[in-house]
Structures are given as structure tokens and as C-alpha cells.
């Protein structure tokens, strides 16, 4: 036996080493989900590799900043002019969007919706990768001391990147959305179909679990659905690149990620989310307030002293005659739902009591102005 | 004829200093993890594998080859989120095979290095594929065109890299 072993010493060692590794692999696979058994090896390796990566990335970005911010300023004047024009355009756009958002929040508040707000983020630099095509993970330079924890979402300004997989002493490991073991709960923006975004072994991203009989158009945006309880709802994930019938009962949908996952330099880790009902600036409006904004009204009549709010029959309070040529659901231009802050009665501006509104009222008639016409004031 | 058959007496066995033995694999692993961030096409290369082949062929000791391969593979595994052992097993086999081949053949010239690297790249990918599918249950796809392209790219890089690493060789 001894002779046999010494004769085949090399092969014996090979078999022994392979057996040990296969055994260890089997143990890890059985305890899938836990990385405790190999945690020490991973910590040592990451601690040996990532500090050097950190130094190089920081030196590189420092040099790059120095060059771009102090030396290479060609075309900055022109760029500055263009950016100022862009800001002006965006300010106009912002006014419109703010109005829309405010209206949306009010409606959500009425319906009892709870929203997830991103309350805190940490900016991190990407310092390394796994170096393997089969494992799509990156390393960032932030760790537990910066508030990073397992399963926190990672995004860029363009879209979703992935989630934190492990936190080490000097860095954190992030699983990208194009890895085959990842999964993101998503929803299609137009069709509102929900599916799971996964990576393929080839590095593509596909949308799974959407039935073959559904219609999905290329170019449609894919957003997070919030169903995975990791990513907040509504973050952009990517756009549908191709949708064809799959071999099973699900569509085969290829998605182009919004974030360029192969060229990541800086990312944001969402470290704080809070779930709350959307709050509207000022007092909380009621359903009637919203209706008041949407429905047309009549011009204010001069106060005669004959009618007070208390005199008006309850059924007439909510009765507004439909003016000619106005759709019931149309929004009256310039209608403002913002009650005056500090005015208690303005919290219930409701609808201006109207009796027998004339049929000649047009959409351009004076909109309801709750701040100037509280319900308990005579009209 | 790039690969020549040599007798045991003709074979030169090299050794490496301890710093080189430790630093070269670590630098290879570091570069493998770092460069693809800036140049994504670099992901096609496997620098740690090339280092394993180089050390194995130069030392011409199967046991040293398999241990070097195993250790480098395990460190490479620990940077991924997969179970540790996938690269470990594949590089162990390559280290053993390359050093066994080095005992029998003279693989000092560029042509021989190109062919040996190509061959062991495919062996490495095949072992990885089998273990990943059979033991871990990963759904990998085998694509001959991709593997051959990668093998050629790695073999070309190996010729240049081995010439550089030859400077660290010490005669026994």
C-alpha cells in the first residue's frame, strides 16, 4: 500500500485535494444562502485586494478631477451658457411637474396610499469587480461604518444597478441585476404587467413570468414594482429591447438596463427608506376639495346678506350645475387647491354654495378660490 | 516544431523567490478584478489562469502546480458570490496538468506556450462548466465559438506575459 501511494504520489495528492474541494463545495451548496462557512476566506481575500483598488481609484479620480476642474477648461464658457439655458427650460418644466405631483399626492392621500420615499442615500465609488464572467458583482468603497447593510438597493442616476450582497470591513459587495442569481420585481410602465427581471448566463437581462398572451412592445419602460421589498417602487430599470413568444407559457422579453452596468464608476446606495402617506403642503384636503378644483363654478356674487352658508340646504352644497360645453371631468384652468396656511376655515374650503347657476357659465368662469371664499362666509 | 520531446536530464526546473510567488498571483487577481471596470472587454482574459500555467510549467512539479492552482483559484472564488471551490478545482486540474506536461515537453518557446495555454484554457473552462452545472446547479451555457475566441485571446496574452515573467525565474 505504501509503495502504491509513493508510486502514484502525485495522482494521490491530486485526488485528495480535489476530493476535499468537492466536499467543501457540497457543504456550501447544502447551506446555500449562508456564507458563514466561507466568510473568513472571503474577508481575507477582499481585505487583501480592495485596499489597493481603493487607493488606485481615488488617485485616478483625484488626478482626473484636477485635470478637468483646473487645467482642461476648453469650451466651459459655451457649456455654461448652454447649461443656463437648460436650467431655464427645466425651471419651466419643474413648475408644471410640481403642480402635477402635488395633485397626485393629494389624490394618493385621499385613497390611503402609502408611498416609499428614499430618505437617505450614500454615494460610493466602484473599486473592483469579481473578475469573472460568471459572477456579476462589483465592490464599492463604502462599508458598515457608512451605514451600508445587506440587501440595500444600489442605483445610479440612470437606473437600478443591484443590491448589496455582503458588507466587509473596507468595502461592500454588490450583486448586479444582470447576474443569473439576481431577481428584481418589476412592472411595465404602460401595460402595468408585472414580472421578475433576471440575468442570463450570457450577461443579458430578461423579464420573466409574463404570460405569452400579453402584449409587450419594444421600447416600453420597465420600473421597479416594489414587490421584492428591496427596491422602492417606481425606479427605472430599463427598456424592453425585444419581446417574443417563449418556449414555455411565458414571453421571452429582453431588457436593456438603463444603467450602463459594464461601466459603473459611482453609485448611490439607498440606506434609508420610509413608508408614509403622501403629505400635501398645508391642510389635508378632503374629497370635496378635490372635486371643487375640478368642477367649474360661477363668478362670485356680491354679498346680499340674505344667504349665509348655514342657510343653504345640504343637498345644494354639492350641486353644481353643469355649464354648457364643459365636461364633468375636465379641470378648470388655474384652479388652485392650496388653502391659505394658518386660516382654519380654509381647511374646509369645499365648494362655493351655488344656487341655480346660470346656464351661460363658461369654463373660463372664475374658478373656485377657497382661500378667498371660506364655506362659513356669506357669499 | 514548437513542442520538442526532451529527456528528464535536459529539462530545466526553475524556482521563484517567495515575494514573487506571493505577489505575482495577487497582482494577477487584482488586475483581473480591476481592469474590466475600465475596459469591459478585458473580462475575456483570465490572468490568474495564465499565472497558474506559467508557474506550473516552470516548476515542473505536479504537486506544486496543483497546490498553486488550487490556492489561486480559491482566492479568485472568494471575490465572486459563488461557492468557493469552482475556480479552485478547475485551476487545480490545470496546475497539475500543465506541470505534468512540462515534465515531458519543452514548452519554453512562444509557439509551444501559445498551444499549451489554448489547450489548458479550454480544459479549465470545461472543468469549471462541469463542476458549476453538476455540483452547484448553475445554468451555464457552453459556446464553442466563445470559448475558442477566449482561448486564442488568452494564448496571445500568455506569450507576452510569460516573456515578462521569465525575468523572475531562478535556476535551481
Q: pLDDT at residue A76 above 70?
A: yes
Q: Residue A76 corresponds to which cell in the numbers above?
A: 466651459
Whether A26 contacts chain B with CB within 8 A: yes
CB of A157 within 8 A of CB of A142? no
DSSP H helical segments within chain A, as ranges? 2-7, 9-30, 39-66, 76-111, 287-294, 314-317
CB of B48 within 8 A of CB of B25? yes
Fold of B4-171: Arp2/3 complex 21 kDa subunit ARPC3 (1.10.1760)
A50-61 pLDDT per residue, tens: 888 888 888 888
Selection from A151, A203, A207 nearest residue A179 by Cα: A203
The CATH number of domain A42-74+114-276, selected from 2.40.10.340, 2.60.120.20, 2.60.120.10, 3.30.1020.10: 2.40.10.340
Residue in A13, A26, A129 nearest the CB of B36: A129
Selection from B156, B57, B56 nearest residue B105 by Cα: B57
- ipTM, two decimals: 0.86
B23-58 pLDDT per residue, tens: 999 999 999 999 998 888 898 999 999 999 999 999
CB contact under 8 A, A17 and B70: yes
Mean pLDDT of chain B: 89
Could you tell me the residue ranges of all domains in chain B?
4-171
A243-287 pLDDT per residue, tens: 888 778 888 899 999 999 988 888 999 988 777 666 655 555 566
Residue of B nearest to A127 (CA): B34
CA distances from A192 to A16, A215, A220, A223, B53 (A): 55, 11, 10, 10, 53
Whether A40 contacts chain B with CB within 8 A: no
CB contact under 8 A, A14 and B92: yes
Mind telling me how many Å the CA of B48 is from chain A's nearest CA?
A: 10
Cα separation, A175 vs A154, whole angstroms: 9
- Residues of chain B found within 8 Å of residue A21, distances taken between Cβ atoms: 70, 85, 88-89, 92
| Test mutation, B35, B37, B93, B143, chain A, max A CBs within 10 A | B37
- CATH 2.40.10.340 residue ranges of chain A are 42-74+114-276
pLDDT of residue B45: 94
A19-42 pLDDT per residue, tens: 999 998 888 887 765 566 677 888
Selection from A141, A151, A132, A99 nearest residue A280 by Cα: A99
Mind telling me how many Å the CA of A192 is from chain B's nearest CA?
A: 30
Whether A183 contacts chain B with CB within 8 A: no
Grid coordinates 452547484 are at which residue?
B136
Residue in B63, B67, B85 nearest the CB of A25: B85
Q: Residue A153 corresponds to which cell in the numbers above?
A: 438597493
Whether A166 contacts chain B with CB within 8 A: yes
Selection from A370, A329, A330, A365 nearest residue A353 by Cα: A370
Lowest mean pLDDT among A18-22, A37-41, A109-113, A371-375: A371-375
Amino acid at each position: 500500500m505504501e509503495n502504491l501511494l509513493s508510486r502514484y504520489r502525485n495522482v494521490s495528492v491530486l485526488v485528495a485535494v480535489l476530493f476535499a474541494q468537492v466536499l467543501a463545495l457540497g457543504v456550501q451548496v447544502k447551506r446555500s444562502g449562508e456564507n458563514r462557512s466561507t466568510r473568513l476566506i472571503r474577508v481575507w481575500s477582499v481585505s487583501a485586494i480592495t485596499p489597493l483598488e481603493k487607493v488606485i481609484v481615488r488617485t485616478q479620480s483625484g488626478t482626473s478631477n484636477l485635470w478637468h476642474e483646473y487645467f482642461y477648461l476648453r469650451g466651459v464658457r459655451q457649456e455654461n451658457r448652454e447649461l443656463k439655458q437648460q436650467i431655464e427650460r427645466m425651471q419651466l418644466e419643474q413648475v408644471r411637474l410640481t403642480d402635477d405631483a402635488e395633485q397626485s399626492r393629494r389624490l394618493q392621500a385621499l385613497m390611503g396610499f402609502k408611498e416609499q420615499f428614499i430618505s437617505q442615500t450614500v454615494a460610493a465609488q466602484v473599486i473592483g469587480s469579481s473578475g469573472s464572467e460568471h459572477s456579476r458583482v462589483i465592490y464599492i468603497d463604502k462599508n458598515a461604518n457608512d451605514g451600508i447593510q445587506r440587501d440595500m438597493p444600489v442605483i445610479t442616476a440612470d437606473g437600478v444597478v443591484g443590491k448589496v450582497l455582503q458588507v466587509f470591513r473596507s468595502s461592500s459587495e454588490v450583486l448586479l441585476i444582470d447576474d443569473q442569481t439576481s431577481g428584481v420585481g418589476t412592472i411595465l410602465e404602460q401595460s402595468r404587467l408585472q414580472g421578475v427581471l433576471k440575468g442570463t448566463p450570457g450577461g443579458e437581462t430578461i423579464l420573466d413570468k409574463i404570460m405569452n398572451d400579453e402584449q409587450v412592445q419594444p421600447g416600453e419602460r420597465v420600473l421597479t414594482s416594489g414587490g421584492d421589498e428591496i427596491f422602492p417602487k417606481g425606479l427605472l430599470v430599463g427598456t424592453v429591447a425585444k419581446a417574443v413568444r417563449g418556449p414555455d407559457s411565458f414571453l421571452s422579453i429582453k431588457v436593456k438596463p438603463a444603467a450602463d452596468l459594464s461601466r459603473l464608476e459611482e453609485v448611490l446606495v439607498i440606506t434609508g427608506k420610509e413608508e408614509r402617506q403622501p403629505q400635501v403642503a398645508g391642510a389635508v384636503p378632503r374629497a370635496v376639495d378635490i372635486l371643487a378644483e375640478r368642477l367649474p363654478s360661477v363668478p362670485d356674487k356680491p354679498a346680499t346678506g340674505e344667504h349665509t352658508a348655514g342657510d343653504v340646504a345640504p343637498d345644494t352644497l354639492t350641486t353644481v350645475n353643469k355649464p354648457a360645453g364643459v365636461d364633468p371631468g375636465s379641470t378648470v384652468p388655474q384652479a388652485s387647491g392650496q388653502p391659505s396656511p394658518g386660516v382654519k376655515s380654509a381647511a374646509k374650503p369645499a365648494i362655493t354654495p351655488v344656487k341655480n347657476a346660470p346656464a351661460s357659465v363658461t369654463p373660463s368662469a372664475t374658478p373656485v378660490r377657497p382661500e378667498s371664499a371660506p364655506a362659513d362666509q356669506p357669499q | 516544431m514548437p513542442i520538442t520531446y526532451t529527456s528528464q536530464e535536459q529539462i530545466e526546473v526553475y524556482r521563484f523567490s517567495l515575494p514573487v510567488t506571493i505577489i505575482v498571483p495577487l497582482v494577477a487577481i487584482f488586475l483581473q478584478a480591476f481592469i474590466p471596470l475600465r475596459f469591459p472587454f478585458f473580462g475575456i482574459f483570465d490572468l490568474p489562469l495564465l499565472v497558474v500555467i506559467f508557474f506550473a510549467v516552470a516548476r515542473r512539479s505536479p504537486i506544486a502546480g496543483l497546490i498553486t492552482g488550487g490556492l489561486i483559484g480559491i482566492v479568485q472564488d472568494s471575490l465572486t458570490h459563488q461557492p468557493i471551490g469552482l475556480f479552485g478545482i478547475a485551476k487545480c486540474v490545470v496546475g497539475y496538468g500543465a506541470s505534468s506536461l512540462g515534465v515531458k515537453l519543452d514548452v519554453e518557446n512562444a509557439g509551444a506556450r501559445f498551444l499549451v495555454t489554448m489547450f489548458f484554457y479550454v480544459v479549465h473552462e470545461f472543468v469549471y462548466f462541469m463542476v458549476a452545472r453538476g455540483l452547484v446547479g448553475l445554468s451555464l451555457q457552453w459556446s464553442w465559438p466563445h470559448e475558442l475566441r477566449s482561448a486564442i485571446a488568452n494564448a496571445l496574452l500568455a506569450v507576452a506575459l510569460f516573456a515578462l515573467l521569465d525575468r523572475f525565474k531562478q535556476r535551481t
